[in-house]
């Protein structure tokens, strides 16, 4: 495993151990996870801001300055606007009785990381933090500005998270022309040992309905 890969696994396990269950109605508590993320980003030399929308509800935003047109940066994007990469810190509820591994243990078993948030989406949060750490280690910089945002309340209404952030602190997202978030699609098994992770564009939306399901609990959505 690469150092960045090892970082990502460790960060994801640590985040899973911080219970950020969101049952809706404003009861979640993302602040400990936000503090964890802010501390890791500060270690990577960034200056994250931690913004509390309500007691215990917190968001983190940091900007990585792009190298711009001097050509010193890595990858495409010279002259492009800033790119927003965002993840949420809350998770849907998990009843330990339904799990073969405790949902907040962050245990790695048989080479697989277990726990609530391992796929939605503390894994992706961890990858973003690991990327910042890797760039700090190697001295690499992106061409364009990268804005990293870690939000509260995605699993409910986002009133304490993304919505609150863009209404109160739009300047943090200044210059962003594109954003990448979660759930392009789920893993597609293309053949033996071949996994594809599709990217979807602007496909998410909201449709409220009331549904009663009986059986073993899975993801809330």
Sign of CA dihedral 102, 108, 150, 83: negative
* From candidates 4, 38, 92, 121, binder to Zn ion by CB under 5 A: 121
Q: Clarify whether 90 is annotated catalytic.
A: yes
Which of 7, 30, 125, 154 does the annotation list as catalytic? 154
As measured in angstroms, the least distance from the Cβ of 136 to Zn ion is 27
89 binds Zn ion (CB under 5 A): no
CA-wise closest residue to 86 among 133, 22, 129? 129
Nearer to Zn ion, 67 or 113 (CB): 113
Tell me the residue length of the chain.
221
As measured in angstroms, the least distance from the Cβ of 129 to Zn ion is 17
As measured in angstroms, the least distance from the Cβ of 80 to Zn ion is 26
Q: SS3 for 44-63, per residue?
A: CCCCCEEEEEECCEEEEEEE
Nearer to Zn ion, 204 or 214 (CB): 204
Nearer to Zn ion, 19 or 182 (CB): 182
Number of residues that bind Zn ion (CB under 5 A): 3
Q: Which residue number is nearest to Zn ion in terms of Cβ?
A: 120
- Among the listed ranges 46-54, 94-102, 113-121, 145-153, the one in contact with Zn ion (CB under 5 A) is 113-121
Nearer to Zn ion, 29 or 116 (CB): 116
Q: Is 134 exposed, middle or buried (0-12, 13-18, 19+ CB in 10 A)?
A: middle
CA-wise closest residue to 176 among 162, 157, 195, 196? 162
Q: Clarify whether 107 is annotated catalytic.
A: no
Integer-rounded Cα radius of gyration of the chain: 18
120 binds Zn ion (CB under 5 A): yes
As measured in angstroms, the least distance from the Cβ of 149 to Zn ion is 14
As measured in angstroms, the least distance from the Cβ of 76 to Zn ion is 27
Which of 7, 30, 90, 155 does the annotation list as catalytic? 90
Q: How far is CA 21 from CA 18, 29, 58, 155, 194, in A?
A: 9, 7, 13, 9, 33
100/88 Cα distance (integer angstroms): 25
Binding site for Zn ion (CB under 5 A): 120-121, 182
Active site residues: 90, 154
């Amino acid at each position: 495993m690469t150092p960045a890969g090892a970082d990502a696994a460790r960060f994801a396990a640590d985040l899973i151990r911080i219970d950020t269950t969101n049952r809706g109605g404003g009861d979640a508590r993302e602040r400990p996870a936000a503090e964890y993320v802010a501390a890791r980003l500060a270690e990577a030399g960034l200056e994250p801001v931690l913004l509390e929308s309500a007691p215990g509800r917190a968001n983190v935003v940091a900007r990585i300055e792009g190298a711009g047109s001097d050509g010193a940066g890595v990858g495409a994007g010279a002259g492009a606007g800033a790119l927003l990469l965002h993840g949420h810190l809350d998770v849907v509820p998990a009843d330990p009785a339904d799990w073969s591994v405790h949902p907040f243990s962050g245990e790695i078993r048989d080479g697989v990381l277990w726990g609530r948030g391992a796929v939605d989406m503390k894994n992706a949060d961890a990858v973003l933090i690991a990327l910042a750490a890797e760039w700090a280690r190697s001295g690499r910089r992106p061409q364009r500005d990268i804005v990293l945002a870690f939000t509260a309340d995605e699993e409910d209404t986002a009133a304490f998270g993304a919505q609150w952030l863009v209404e109160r602190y739009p300047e943090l997202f200044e210059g962003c022309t594109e954003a990448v978030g979660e759930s392009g699609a789920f893993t597609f098994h293309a053949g033996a040992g071949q996994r594809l992770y599709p990217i979807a564009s602007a496909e998410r939306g909201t449709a409220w309905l009331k549904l009663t399901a009986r059986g073993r609990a899975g993801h809330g959505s």
